[in-house]
């Protein structure tokens, strides 16, 4: 007979609450560090991504299982233009 405890209960991972976040330090010259800014995202039409992803699918001979990879590749390439 069991003691009533669930022996298959997954262990809860420990959470470290002692994490410290470092603040940016001044450069040796005493100047404040410049904030990092990302380039604005380029809007790409859904249809353009679909057409390019479809061309990748055709290049592969119509093999299935790569739709997400094709889509992300097409999106990345079109946004980098």
Q: Is the pLDDT of residue 78 over 60?
A: yes
Phi, psi of 54 (to 5 degrees): -65, -40
Tokens of 36: 């990092």
pLDDT in tens, 21-73: 555 565 566 667 677 666 667 899 999 999 999 999 999 999 999 999 999 99
Helix (H) or strand (E) holding 73: helix 67-79
Write down the residue that tokens 């609450």 correspond to: 17
**Which has the higher per-residue pLDDT, 35 or 79?**
79
pLDDT in tens, 1-12: 555 555 555 555
**Which has the higher per-residue pLDDT, 81 or 72?**
72
- How many alpha carbons fall within 13 Å on the CB side of residue 58? 6
Q: How far apart are the first and last CA of the chain?
A: 68
Predicted TM-score of the model (pTM): 0.51
User: What pLDDT was estimated at residue 11?
Assistant: 55
User: What pLDDT was estimated at residue 8?
Assistant: 55
């Amino acid at each position: 007979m069991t003691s009533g405890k669930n022996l298959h209960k997954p262990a809860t991972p420990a959470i470290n609450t002692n994490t410290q976040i470092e603040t940016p330090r001044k450069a040796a010259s005493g100047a404040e560090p410049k904030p990092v800014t990302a380039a604005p995202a380029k809007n790409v039409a859904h249809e353009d991504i679909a057409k390019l992803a479809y061309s990748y699918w055709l290049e592969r001979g119509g093999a299935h299982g790569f739709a997400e990879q094709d889509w992300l590749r097409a999106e990345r390439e079109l946004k980098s233009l």
